[in-house]
């Protein structure tokens, strides 16, 4: 039986008069790739911010690896890697230099983690090439590498393929599948377009107006392909 990494019970978030999340009940289990699908404004980023501690719920409970108390929850978050917003990259620096800044800022003592992480995302051969000369797909992979610096068990990515061309989408897709397959990493990745994730994720969570409207597995996702709300406009 898969162990539960994340569990939300009646998780609710209000911003002034706006109900961003409405009593969300959800489980994320170890070893799977979850696609978190919904229109822009559906509540995806709000949920991910609650999970990573960037925001706090109005009501309800959130547990990580079975821990829900505030102090313990924060400890468990160290097992998570995330890219919630566009990564802050220094365009005049190399991939290695950008990673070194991140390593120092986050207090990670082991320098060898940089090469290992760049290897994981296929960027260890970029040498002195500056980030300003990277393709969008390469920049996204570098952002994901930053999320992987702490060697997480659970990786959370918010719209990682947004704005990418088909080649860039394939790059990110292959990377996520490799991380799951070779490192056993559990991944939660959001998108407002179902088509961008149906070849990647094994489970899908459909969110609309702060509510989970359906949870489906990869075998059934093709049946949702023709629904207008999840297709490219």
Domain ranges of the chain: 4-230
Spatial separation of the C-alpha atoms in residues 109 and 100, rounded to whole Å: 11
Instruction: Give the residue, 137 or 34, on which the prediction is more confident.
Output: 34
Average model confidence (pLDDT) for the chain?
A: 88
Give the max Cα distance, the chain.
Answer: 50
Contacts of 218 (CB under 8 A, 6+ apart): 198, 201, 202, 203, 204
**Per-residue pLDDT for 202 more than 50?**
yes
Q: What length does the chain have?
A: 233
pLDDT at 87: 76
Tell whether the torsion through CA atoms of 75, 79, 80 and 81 is positive or negative: positive
pLDDT of 68-115, one tens digit each?
A: 999 999 999 999 999 987 778 999 999 999 999 999 988 899 899 999
Tell me which range, 93-97, 110-114, 125-129, 165-169, is most confidently predicted by mean pLDDT.
Answer: 93-97
Answer whether CATH 3.30.70.1450 is correct for domain 4-230. no
Distances (CA, A) of 52 to 38, 48, 117, 118: 19, 6, 21, 23
The residue assigned the tokens 């929850």 is 73
Q: Name the pLDDT band for 218 (thresholds 50, 70, 90).
A: low
Radius of gyration of the chain (CA): 18
**Per-residue pLDDT for 31 more than 60?**
yes
- Residue 28 in contact with residue 6, Cβ under 8 Å? yes
In this prediction, residues 120-126 reach a mean pLDDT of 88
pTM to 2 decimal places: 0.88
Tell whether the torsion through CA atoms of 151, 155, 156 and 161 is positive or negative: positive
**Per-residue pLDDT for 232 more than 70?**
no
């Amino acid at each position: 039986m898969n162990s539960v990494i994340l569990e939300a019970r009646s998780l609710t978030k209000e911003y002034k008069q706006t109900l961003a999340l409405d009593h969300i009940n959800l489980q994320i289990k170890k070893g799977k790739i979850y696609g978190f699908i919904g229109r822009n404004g559906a509540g995806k980023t709000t949920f991910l911010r609650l999970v990573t501690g960037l925001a706090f719920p109005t009501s309800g409970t959130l547990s990580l690896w079975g821990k829900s108390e505030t102090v313990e929850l924060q400890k468990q978050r160290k097992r998570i890697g995330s890219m919630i917003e566009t990564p802050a990259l220094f365009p005049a620096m190399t991939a290695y230099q950008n990673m070194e800044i991140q390593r120092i800022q986050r207090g990670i003592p082991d320098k060898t983690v940089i090469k290992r992480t760049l290897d994981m995302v296929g960027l260890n051969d970029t040498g002195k090439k500056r980030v300003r000369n990277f393709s969008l797909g390469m920049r996204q992979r570098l952002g994901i590498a930053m999320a992987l610096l702490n060697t997480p068990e659970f990786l959370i990515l918010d719209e990682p393929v947004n704005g990418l061309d088909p080649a860039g989408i394939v790059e990110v897709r292959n990377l996520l599948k490799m991380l799951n397959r070779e490192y056993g990493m559990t991944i939660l990745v959001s998108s407002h377009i179902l088509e961008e994730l149906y070849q990647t994720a094994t489970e899908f969570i459909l969110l609309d107006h702060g509510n989970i409207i359906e949870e489906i597995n990869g075998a059934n996702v093709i049946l949702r392909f023709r629904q207008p709300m999840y297709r490219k406009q």
